[in-house]
Amino acid sequence: MSAYLIVDTVLSDPDRYEAYKDKVPGLVKKHGGEYLVRDGEFEVIEGNWQPNRLVLLRFPDRQAIHNLFNDPDYQPLKELRQQIATSNIVAVDGL
């Protein structure tokens, strides 16, 4: 069953974020993930949620998402992201 990763990020250092953004796609692919949405324009149809930088990814399953987040190669990138951004990250199973 596919699983989806929803990420909403507020950047505090956009210049340093470029290094993160350039290196993460290879790790996402390594764990079977693919980007469906990567920033871009959005429209709030209903409610008060105002995403900042919205990313949506699809993975083969939720374990693949955990494998990405636990990958030793991701750890320095995760640390960088946490230094330069605040993120809300949610995993959800698909149908």
Cα–Cα dist 51/53, whole Å: 6
Q: Give the model confidence (pLDDT) of 10-26 as tens digits.
A: 999 999 999 999 999 99
How many structural domains compose the chain? 1
Domain of 87 in residue numbering reads as 3-93
- Are the beta carbons of 60 and 3 closer than 8 angstroms? yes
> How many CB atoms are closer than 10 A to CB 4?
17
Whole-angstrom CA distances from 46 to 8, 43, 49, 50, 88 are 17, 9, 8, 10, 19
The confidence score (pLDDT) of residue 40 equals 84
CB 60 within 8 A of CB 1: no
Is the pTM for the entire model greater than 0.95? Answer: no
3-state secondary structure of 76: helix
pLDDT in tens, 28-70: 999 999 999 998 889 999 999 999 999 999 999 999 999 999 9
Looking at the predicted structure, is the pLDDT value of residue 5 above 90? Answer: yes
The CATH number that applies at residue 31 is 3.30.70.100
